Structure 1
Amino acid sequence: MDFNISEENEQMRMMVKNFVENEVEPYAQQIEEEDEIPQHLIDQAKELGLFGLSIPEEYGGIGLDTVGKCIVYEQLGRTHNGYVSLIGAHTGIGSTGLVRLASEELKQKYLPDLASGNKIGCFALSEPGAGSDATNLGTTAEKKGDKWIVNGTKHFITNAPIADVFTVFALTDKEKGAKGGITAFVIEKDFPGITVGKPDKKMGLRGSHTSQVIFENCEVPDENVIGEVGMGYVSALTILGEGRVGLAARSVGSSKKLIDLSIEYAEERKQFGKPISQQQAIQWMLAEMETETEAAKTMTYRAAWLIDQGEKAIKDSSMAKLFATETYNKVADKAVQIHGGMGYMAEYPAERFYRDARITKIYEGTNEIQRLIISKNMLKGS
């Protein structure tokens, strides 16, 4: 693995870094208070091409490799997590399936608008009865003539309230189940029979909205099947694998930001006549935060590099997601501790990052599921 960043990726890193620091970060508190991302920040992200990170240039995107995307996600992770969640859900699991698995016809139809951000994508897999057990889908799709009729309910779907294009997984053969009986579809918000529920009220990630998506005899053209009929579960694993590496990179960025905030506060805050940064207890916390974050960063970029080499990297992606999100939560906890009472106050970023960190251990595959994936790849006979 080459640890040197290409000139193109370094330029992208600096562009996103400056954008985050100068344009997004000044609005972080406003996003938190209003639970809404200012439209001009979305428009600026479009102008920078951030909605087309995963989409090849021939369809209007930037077409970054996985390492390149992680470099961008790491910088985005340094600001409000709701903002990066909106973009990350679109550029990651929201569009990766179309890029990797869709027919040329579907790519031509949907990718240019997704790349420009004129249309927003999302990934609809989770259901009330199928969260960690994604094989237990209740949503069904029945072939009738040249259409599929989809029925069922998805929930906790990031970007659903603003999405135009849904990557949806449905059971097409109950007997086969996950082994050849789940199919992926691309469904537009205007198709007959699709209803998007009210935004969920959540602990964190304000500005990034989730909701239920209900399908009642929703008619989907046969050509809107993504990949092969029956291979949807395999497709989901492929899409989620790349998404987990992206989430790991975002978690590394957030951890880095918390470390910077903690150092700044520790050097300013005085107790017993001197800055608390001179207290060994604080120094040890900072050392642990930095060490674990650097380890998470190395693990993340190695998984990304393996994917770019054509490897499946299923175990490596799960390890990166597991370790980076666990690290983010530990770093957030220590950051609040270093800030003391101020870390519990809503006007300090540490409090917001602390709440936002918690979901990273749950979505895109719980960390318990990541442990199962890792161990099964270790124990080949299991």
Structure 2
Amino acid sequence: MDFGLTEEQRMLVDTVRAFVDAELVPYENEVEKTDEVRPELIQQIHARAQTTGLYAANMPEDLGGGGLDHVAFTLMERELGRTSFALQYAVHRPSNILRACNAEQKERYLLPTIRGERIECLGITEPNAGSDVKSMQTRAVQEGDDFVITGTKHFISYADVADYIILFAASGVEETKRGPRKLITSFLIDKDTPGLTVTKGSRSVSHRGFHHCELVFDNARVNKRQVLGEVHHGFDVANTWLGATRLTVAAQCVGRAQRALEMATQWAATRKQFGQTIGKFQGTSFKLADMATEIECANLIVLQTAWKTEQGTAQDQDYAMAKLFATEMLARVTDQTVQIFGGMGLMEETGVERLWRDARVERIWDGTSEIQRHIISRALLRPLES
């Protein structure tokens, strides 16, 4: 079993690491202080990512994307995870859901997004339907060739700068053995659609500059040509995306943890107390050892899941395990990094407190840790149930 990277994969890692260090890291403090990424900075990152070949790297080459396989793309995400989410998000990787676009939708949405001319956001979460997405209240009622959409979405990342929304809405009900079940349809909705209002959400402690918004649909009317996939089969589209997105979260957590460990190690090797560097005390050195071990374990499960995805053998529980372990690992690593820095770990100048704050949301979005444990435990128990 070969765990080594190919020469091409190593070159990709080096390229992305250099891009992050040169094009993104220098702007971290600005984003932290202003809670914004300037439009001109976004355009600058777009342009340089396109020049470097990193923009839309997850999209097929025949559509104008980078054509990275799942392992290579996961390595890229790991390296991008080392910096501010708001900044690295400008190195846009369009949602895989867009691969469900038909010919007309490709011209209007997918291809302009790959070229950097348009930006999408995803509208799933609602005030009363977070983890339980099948309980969503946003409705899409068909009237002739149109759908009339009513409802509210919140925690919608990047909606303030997106041009269009990949929206999921309840479009009907079917009877099952367990009772009524909502049918979900996905839509491609331009942000200037009459009846749609987008407002900025509350300030979050995690990922400054990467905003979440509220979407309010008040009898917004869209044509049936804007249905993504098939009517009532929105989750067929979503399920092809959720696993890959959870793997992305896990990979980015590994990259962020690696940076935290580097900072903690450098501090431990230079900070002196009681006449010697603190790294010589087992109370510190053993923390570093535990952190390094956990990071390596998370890195291996992430890359294994990426490899399984490439082979077509990955299951829901594989993605759940990767996200669960990597996100909870990051929480422990960043907390220990703060501890090693002591009081300075809570000071903005060091950057450590940002890593600590940003780590918290990873155990919540794209499926909470509790949801991941549910997926894993159901996979274990289901074969044994009568």
Q: Same fold (TM over 0.5)?
A: yes
Per-residue CA deviation, residues 291-312 of structure 1 (Å, 9 max, x unaligned), is: 0111011111111111111234
Q: Counterparts in 2 of 1:177-192, with a 5 A limit?
A: 181-192=183-194
Per-residue CA deviation, residues 272-301 of structure 1 (Å, 9 max, x unaligned), is: 100001111111100111101110111111
The answer for the alignment partner of 1:214 in structure 2 is 216
The answer for the alignment partner of 2:76 in structure 1 is 72
Letter of the 1:327 counterpart: M
The answer for the alignment partner of 1:34 in structure 2 is 34
* Range 355-364 or range 147-156, more displaced: 147-156
The answer for the alignment partner of 1:167 in structure 2 is 166
The answer for the alignment partner of 2:110 in structure 1 is 111
Matches of 1:126 and 1:86, distance apart in 2: 22
Matches of 2:357 and 2:89, distance apart in 1: 14
Shift of 1:178: 8.8
The answer for the alignment partner of 1:288 in structure 2 is 290
Matches of 1:186 and 1:342, distance apart in 2: 47
Matches of 1:121 and 1:2, distance apart in 2: 38
Letter of the 2:116 counterpart: G
> Contact 1:178 / 1:233 at 8 angstroms: preserved in 2?
no
The answer for the alignment partner of 2:87 in structure 1 is 83
Letter of the 2:370 counterpart: E
Shift of 1:55: 1.4
The secondary structure found in structure 2 opposite 1:181 is: strand
Letter of the 1:14 counterpart: D
Per-residue CA deviation, residues 5-42 of structure 1 (Å, 9 max, x unaligned), is: 34443332221110111221121111111112241334
Matches of 1:30 and 1:359, distance apart in 2: 21
Shift of 1:130: 0.3
The secondary structure found in structure 1 opposite 2:68 is: coil
The secondary structure found in structure 1 opposite 2:151 is: strand
Query: 2:300 is matched with which residue: 298, 301, 306?
Result: 298
Letter of the 1:196 counterpart: V
> Contact 1:183 / 1:231 at 8 angstroms: preserved in 2?
yes
Percent identical residues: 40
Matches of 2:180 and 2:209, distance apart in 1: 34
Matches of 2:322 and 2:181, distance apart in 1: 27
Number of residues of Structure 1 aligned to a counterpart in Structure 2 = 377
Aligned CA distance change for structure 1 residues 191 and 266 (closer, same or farther; 3 Å):
same
Per-residue CA deviation, residues 95-154 of structure 1 (Å, 9 max, x unaligned), is: 21012x232332233222211222111111000010011110100111112221111111
Shift of 1:332: 0.3
Matches of 2:382 and 2:72, distance apart in 1: 31
> Contact 2:134 / 2:182 at 8 angstroms: preserved in 1?
no
Say whether residues 1:58 and 2:62 are aligned partners.
yes
Q: Counterparts in 2 of 1:150-161, with a 5 A limit?
A: 150-161=149-160
Shift of 1:77: 1.0
> Contact 2:170 / 2:184 at 8 angstroms: preserved in 1?
yes
* Range 51-60 or range 336-345, more displaced: 51-60
Aligned CA distance change for structure 1 residues 104 and 165 (closer, same or farther; 3 Å):
same
Query: 1:251 is matched with which residue: 230, 250, 253?
Result: 253
The answer for the alignment partner of 2:309 in structure 1 is 307
The secondary structure found in structure 1 opposite 2:382 is: coil
Query: 2:341 is matched with which residue: 339, 342, 351?
Result: 339
Matches of 1:10 and 1:228, distance apart in 2: 40
* Range 7-16 or range 166-175, more displaced: 7-16
> Contact 1:128 / 1:153 at 8 angstroms: preserved in 2?
yes
Matches of 1:253 and 1:56, distance apart in 2: 25
Query: 2:48 is matched with which residue: 36, 44, 48?
Result: 44
Matches of 2:78 and 2:192, distance apart in 1: 34
Matches of 1:45 and 1:282, distance apart in 2: 39
Matches of 1:178 and 1:302, distance apart in 2: 38
The answer for the alignment partner of 1:261 in structure 2 is 263
Letter of the 1:57 counterpart: E
The secondary structure found in structure 1 opposite 2:300 is: helix
> Contact 1:269 / 1:276 at 8 angstroms: preserved in 2?
yes
In structure 1, the gaps of 5 or more residues are none
Matches of 1:364 and 1:24, distance apart in 2: 24
* Range 252-261 or range 42-51, more displaced: 42-51
Matches of 1:166 and 1:68, distance apart in 2: 27
> Contact 1:135 / 1:178 at 8 angstroms: preserved in 2?
no
The secondary structure found in structure 2 opposite 1:75 is: helix
The answer for the alignment partner of 1:14 in structure 2 is 14
* Range 149-158 or range 9-18, more displaced: 9-18
Shift of 1:247: 0.6
> Contact 1:49 / 1:116 at 8 angstroms: preserved in 2?
no
> Contact 2:135 / 2:182 at 8 angstroms: preserved in 1?
no
Aligned CA distance change for structure 1 residues 122 and 286 (closer, same or farther; 3 Å):
same
Matches of 1:120 and 1:175, distance apart in 2: 34
Aligned CA distance change for structure 1 residues 318 and 178 (closer, same or farther; 3 Å):
farther
Per-residue CA deviation, residues 251-274 of structure 1 (Å, 9 max, x unaligned), is: 000000000000111111000100
The answer for the alignment partner of 1:371 in structure 2 is 373
Letter of the 1:110 counterpart: Y
In structure 2, the gaps of 5 or more residues are none
Tell me the C-alpha RMSD between the 2 structures. Answer: 1.9
Say whether residues 1:138 and 2:132 are aligned partners.
no
Q: Counterparts in 2 of 1:236-247, with a 5 A limit?
A: 236-247=238-249
